[in-house]
Amino acid sequence: MIRLNQEEKTYRVLFLGRLLIGLVFAYSGFIKLMEPVENFQGGMAAYEVIPYAVIPFLARVIPWIEFIFGVFLITGYLPRLSALVLAGMSWSFVLLILYTRLVTGALPSNCGCFGEGSLIHLKPLQVVVMDVFNTIIALRLTLVKAHPFGLSALLKRKS
């Protein structure tokens, strides 16, 4: 039987958070990558505060970041960096939604995070709640120095 020390026992709760955030981002990125890029482009354009010139670039880059760092977080490869990147993304979504609401006085009826064909449909305000939660957990994961369950920990072990 594997014996866990105190730190590892405490980490088990955070580990669930790590899996949850990783899954949310990996799924969101995967759905967007499977669909034509114009779908996400249109979703971003619905937030009228994003300069139109950068939308085609962002629509191509963001899904890859979500998918790759989501999988990194699940597998525990570069977990601190991945958590930091995803915390930054979660927080930027929160700011985007709040800023759009403030400037235009309106929000798109769908957040544009997952496609119509996906299992998850969220309104922008539900995304704010989810992303605030994600940011807190991801920042907590960034501050943890050792992530025992994961690829990075496995690679650091002496062979």
Q: Does 51 bind other proteins (CB under 8 A)?
A: no
Work out how close the CB of 27 gets to other proteins at its nearest, in angstroms, rounded to a whole number: 13
Least distance to other proteins, CB of residue 16, Å:
22
Q: Give per-residue burial for 6-24: e unless 16+ CB within 10 Å, then b.
A: eeeeebeebbebbeebbeb
Residue located via tokens 């700011």:
95
Stretch that binds other proteins, among 4-12, 40-48, 90-98, 126-134 (CB under 8 A): 40-48
* Amino acid identity, position 45: A
Is 3 or 145 the residue whose CB approaches other proteins more closely?
A: 145
- Does 78 sit near other proteins (CB under 8 A)? yes
Site residue total, other proteins (CB under 8 A): 39
Distance CA 51, CA 65 (A): 20
Q: Does 148 bind other proteins (CB under 8 A)?
A: no
Q: Is 105 in the site for other proteins (CB under 8 A)?
A: yes
Alpha helices in the chain (DSSP H): 6-34, 37-45, 55-75, 79-104, 124-143, 151-156
Single-letter amino acid, residue 82: S
Task: Indicate whether 12 belongs to the interface with other proteins (CB under 8 A).
Answer: no
Indicate whether 121 belongs to the interface with other proteins (CB under 8 A). yes
Q: What are the CA-CA distances from residue 69 to residues 9, 64, 72, 124, 141 (Å)?
A: 25, 8, 5, 23, 14
Residues in the site for other proteins, rule: CB under 8 A? 30, 33-36, 38-39, 41-43, 45-46, 48, 52, 67-68, 71-72, 75, 77-78, 104-110, 112, 115-117, 121, 123, 151-152, 155-156, 158
